Amino acid sequence: MTGRTPIVAGNWKMNGLKASKGEIEAIISGLGTGPAPRAEALICPPATLVAGFAEIASSSALAIGAQDCHARVSGAHTGDISAQMLADAGASSIIVGHSERRADHGESNETVRAKAAAVLGERLTAIICVGETEAERKGGKTLEVVAGQLRGSLPEGANAANTVIAYEPVWAIGTGLTPTTGDVGEVHDMIRRELENLAGGEAAGMRILYGGSVKPSNAAELMAIDNVDGALVGGASLKADDFLAILSVYR
Ligand code: PGA
């Protein structure tokens, strides 16, 4: 027992319409059936759905989060959404630094760190993503790259209550490929040690999620690895049945 409550978080990416509320209702009803999971359940839909889903999920065991935010609270930033707005909409957590943001929007570690600081400023939980590309993995640079992202992206004041790390190898996202359990364990151990350097005594309580092609058939094996404190799930979180099946690892 680690004393850390695991998290199973769904990242819906750019998927979902108002009509998808049936999946949220099905997850809420699944959470209330059978033994209560020993993990927190979180769904991060697109920003358009955060307020509506948060209302549906209020007073349930499901938390609703968001996928990105701007580093500033308000201002002349057309098209952007602040952490304060997402908090106001009912988000409990915000993913920052997802590899798709880093790649598609050129987000640097500095940008990710500023966004994470904005999340903490609203007293929400920041889920900070790190992970190597295929070329970096093949070049033997995984530990160095992930440690660098962690050092560059962790904001001041990060602690066990407000910060979650998600290790997501870029080449495993949406591909059906996953690292070996040994490779996942090696990276998660390194992240824990690096967090000890960066956040001292808080490190022991920080959750480190694995993400990248997590599905019902591989979740138990991945979640059993030391220092894996849950999952960040993309594709398999879009269907309530698959999300609940992954969560059932913790029942
Ligand atoms: P995937 O995505 O589960 O579809 O691989 C994970 C993620 O990008 O968070």
pLDDT, tens digit, 9 for 90 and up, residues 143-186: 999 999 999 999 999 999 999 999 999 999 999 999 999 999 99
Assess if residue 233 is contained within a domain. Answer: yes
CB 42 within 8 A of CB 10: yes
Whether the CB of 95 sits within 6 Å of ligand 1: no
95 has pLDDT over 80: yes
Q: How many domains does the chain contain in total?
A: 1
Q: Across residues 212-227, what is the average pLDDT?
A: 98
Assess if residue 1 is contained within a domain. Answer: no
Q: Which are the catalytic amino acids?
A: 98, 168
d(Cα 13, Cα 39) in Å, to the nearest integer? 22
Assess if residue 155 is contained within a domain. Answer: yes
Q: Which two tokens stand for residue 107?
A: 């987000």
Assess if residue 39 is contained within a domain. Answer: yes
d(Cα 154, Cα 60) in Å, to the nearest integer? 30
1 has pLDDT over 90: no
pLDDT, tens digit, 9 for 90 and up, residues 100-135: 999 999 999 999 999 999 999 999 999 999 999 999
Q: Which atom of ligand 1 is nearest to the CA of 175?
A: 5
User: Would you say how long the chain is, in residues?
Assistant: 251
Q: Across residues 230-251, what is the average pLDDT?
A: 98
- Give me the phi and psi of 92, to 5 degrees please: -100, -20
**What CATH number does the domain containing 76 carry?**
3.20.20.70
Assess if residue 2 is contained within a domain. Answer: no
Among 173, 202, 161, 200, residue whose Cα is nearest residue 100: 173
Q: For residue 204, what are the domain limits?
A: 7-14+21-250
Amino acid (one-letter) located at 187: V
The alpha carbon of 212 and the centre of ligand 1 are apart by a number of angstroms equal to: 5
